[in-house]
Amino acid sequence: MMTGNCLCGDIVYQLNSDIKAIVFCHCSRCRKQTSSAFNSATVVNKEDLTFIKGEENIKVYSDAGVNRHFCGKCGSHIFSSRDNDTSTYRLRIGLINEPINAEKRIHVYTGSKANWDTICDGYPEYEEGIPAK
């Protein structure tokens, strides 16, 4: 079990599963959302995420089938969901309170990464999204 919370602490959640992989997304929309070179997330089953408090404070910005869920008070991005995927969330791992020991890490949408960003960690890179299993 892991816990997480937004910057202001209004939203607190519990993750009832292990983090198996970290996905670094370099698409232009994630760069705009994070104001950084990429977003760091993990895919979790919806039933594994329980809100302890503040779920009613979550606001949603939707565009092109992607729904970005964030704290209405401090703006912390909690997770994203997809219209075409009703079973998972892409949980932003920067809000997790405990150490994360996932061994698998991948970079996706590197074909549209920022021209000023250099990926130099040796983890697999994919020009598009998460590859099919």
15-46 pLDDT tens trace: 999 999 999 999 989 898 888 999 999 999 99
pLDDT for the residue 126: 93
The pTM score is 0.90
Q: Is 35 left (phi over 0), alpha (psi -120 to 50) or beta?
A: left
pLDDT of 130 over the 80 cut: no
What are the pLDDT digits (tens) for 118-127? 999 999 999 9
So what CATH class is 2-112? Answer: mainly beta
Alpha-carbon gap, residue 1 to 98, rounded angstroms: 9
Q: Tokens 């990464």 map to which residue?
A: 113
Segments making up each domain of the chain, as ranges: 2-112
Q: Alpha helices of 3-70 — where are they, by DSSP H?
A: 28-34
pLDDT for the residue 7: 97
Nearest to 112 by CA among 27, 35, 24: 27
Query: What secondary structure letter does DSSP report for 17?
Result: S
Alpha-carbon gap, residue 10 to 67, rounded angstroms: 20
Q: Is 75 left (phi over 0), alpha (psi -120 to 50) or beta?
A: left
pLDDT of 131 over the 80 cut: no
